[in-house]
Amino acid sequence: MSTAKRLAFFLPNAFTAMNMACGFTSMILSTRGELYYAAIILILGAIFDSVDGRVARLTGTSSSFGEQFDSMSDMVSFGVAPAFLIFHKYLHQYGRLGGVISFVFLLCAALRLARFNANLSKFRSDFFQGLPSPGAALGIIGLILLADRFPIIDEYSYLALFYTAFYGILMITTIPFHSFKNSHMAKNKKRVVLIFLFLGAALTVIYYKIMFALGMACYVVISLAYYLLRIKEFGDAFEWSEESDS
């Protein structure tokens, strides 16, 4: 294999490794009580996660190894690390219940990633089956940043129990969440979509402590409403298959 080819294979996996490093660092920061920075570095991990797959496709180096490595990295950054983060921020004060709720989030992330890697006899590429684990993690991150902006949230810490469980359960549902792949709107109204993307990006940079929680909440609410309004249309779009390889 040529040096250029080796570098092409190395690049996407390097981004995946950096995502995992962000998750690991976040856990260290959480145990030290530096929760704001623990949340911020997970956002960096999400950026790395969004890049690795695109780099693999651009370089033509997508592989089964890369997919599995990416899932293990996501498990660290969007499963274990957010569970650590929310536990150290709020749930530790509720003893065993807090520990159980944190584990429920972690378990749901693991099940979501395992299901993603398993075979689906039918699927729609324009929708995710259940909330993706990075989205659920961003929901947790958003709450931490929002509480940093509005400390009064800390007085209602018991709501974090329901909030964490809610985002965890969303990951293992079969509710479709739009992936925005092959979107007719994106293709037919590119200028409008670009304007909204730039506007959203600008607002996120300026009001990042608010926008992550608000953005994920809007995404979830709109997705749930869309599903309820078109529940018959989806039918068995995510029918599970347990066919044997033998």
pLDDT digits (tens, 9 = 90+) for 35-70: 999 999 999 999 999 888 788 777 777 778 888 899
Q: Is residue 243 part of a domain?
A: no
What confidence tier does 246 reach under pLDDT thresholds 50, 70, 90?
A: very low
Number of domains, the chain? 1
- Condensed to tens digits (0 to 9), the pLDDT of residues 102-117 reads 999 999 999 999 988 8
At a CB cut-off of 8 Å and minimum separation 6, what does 185 contact? 192, 193
pLDDT at 188: 67
CATH number at residue 178: 1.20.120.1760
Q: Is residue 160 part of a domain?
A: yes
User: Which residue range(s) make up the domain with 90?
Assistant: 3-234
Q: Is residue 139 part of a domain?
A: yes
> Any idea which of 84-88, 135-139, 203-207 has the lowest mean pLDDT?
203-207
Q: Is residue 162 part of a domain?
A: yes
Distance between CA atoms of residues 49 and 211, nearest Å: 20
Q: Is residue 147 part of a domain?
A: yes
Q: Is residue 193 part of a domain?
A: yes
What confidence tier does 186 reach under pLDDT thresholds 50, 70, 90?
A: low
Pairing of strands 127-129, 176-178: antiparallel
> Any idea which of 7-16, 46-55, 144-153, 203-212 has the lowest mean pLDDT?
7-16
Q: Is residue 82 part of a domain?
A: yes
Phi-psi group of 150: left, alpha or beta (phi > 0 → left; psi -120 to 50 → alpha; rest → beta): beta
Q: Is residue 143 part of a domain?
A: yes
pLDDT at 204: 86
SS3 237: coil
- Condensed to tens digits (0 to 9), the pLDDT of residues 205-242 reads 899 899 999 999 999 999 999 888 877 766 655 555 55
Q: Compute the C-alpha angle 138/226/121, nearest 5°.
A: 80
